């Protein structure tokens, strides 16, 4: 799995709300694909990497659940249906974490990957139809560099007004 953090930082800082949802789905799918690939490898490192990827995918699901707007009457039915899919997917991922059989675990992950891929395609279409939307007004990300422990490190601080605005 290759997750280009810098590319995502730029996309996120310039993204309207619908595109933020697409980005969250893309990251979740990347983690699920990585988990599926790790299951094909043998060894403790592959198992740990798979668990990290599943945990990261679950964090993406939690973010998607938290972003649902249940207060708007016109979107409540769609949000409820999405919430049910997210909860179902999260339960399958939790089962996958404790599954002893790599084959059964791969089946669970592939099922969730199918669900998330279809939802990603739908959100891409929705975001494309809203291509004229403006980025979130609070999207101000400051980037900088620090030197610590003999190496140069990039940091991201969304609260401070220091560094360069991205």
- The domain segmentation of the chain, as residue ranges, is 17-129
Q: Is residue 166 over pLDDT 60?
A: no
Cα–Cα dist 36/46, whole Å: 10
The CATH code belonging to domain 17-129 is 1.20.120.340
Helices (H), the chain: 5-13, 17-39, 44-67, 76-98, 102-129
pLDDT tens for each residue of 51-87: 999 999 999 999 999 999 888 888 889 999 999 999 9
Show Cβ contacts of residue 72 under 8 Å, excluding neighbours closer than 6 positions.
Answer: 79
Using a 10 angstrom Cβ sphere, with 0-12 exposed, 13-18 middle and 19 or more buried, the burial of residue 125 is exposed
Q: What is the DSSP letter of 14?
A: T
pLDDT at 46: 79
- Looking at every residue in the chain, the average pLDDT score rounds to 81
91 pLDDT band, cuts 50/70/90, is very high
Q: Which tokens hold the place of 95?
A: 């089962």
Q: 21 near 123, Cβ under 8 Å?
A: yes
> What would the mean pLDDT of 112-131 be, rounded to a whole number?
90
| pTM score | 0.75
Is 115 within 8 Å of 81 (Cβ atoms)?
Answer: no
pLDDT tens track for 25-50: 999 999 999 999 998 887 778 788 88
pLDDT band at 6 (very low <50, low <70, confident <90, very high): confident
């Amino acid at each position: 799995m290759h997750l280009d953090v810098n590319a995502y930082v730029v996309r996120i800082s310039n993204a309207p709300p619908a595109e933020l949802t697409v980005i969250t789905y893309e990251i979740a799918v990347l983690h699920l694909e990585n988990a599926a690939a790790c299951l094909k490898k043998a060894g403790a490192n592959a198992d740990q990497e798979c668990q990290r990827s599943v945990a990261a995918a679950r964090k993406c699901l939690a973010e998607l659940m938290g972003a649902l707007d249940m207060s708007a009457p016109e979107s409540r039915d769609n949000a409820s249906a999405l919430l049910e899919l997210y909860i179902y997917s999260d339960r399958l991922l939790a089962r996958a974490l404790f599954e002893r059989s790599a084959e059964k675990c791969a089946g669970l992950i592939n099922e969730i990957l199918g669900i998330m891929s279809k939802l990603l395609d739908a959100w891409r279409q929705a975001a494309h139809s809203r291509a004229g939307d403006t980025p979130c007004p609070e999207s101000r990300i400051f980037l900088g560099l620090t030197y610590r422990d003999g190496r140069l490190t990039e940091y991201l601080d969304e609260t401070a007004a220091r560094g360069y605005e991205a």
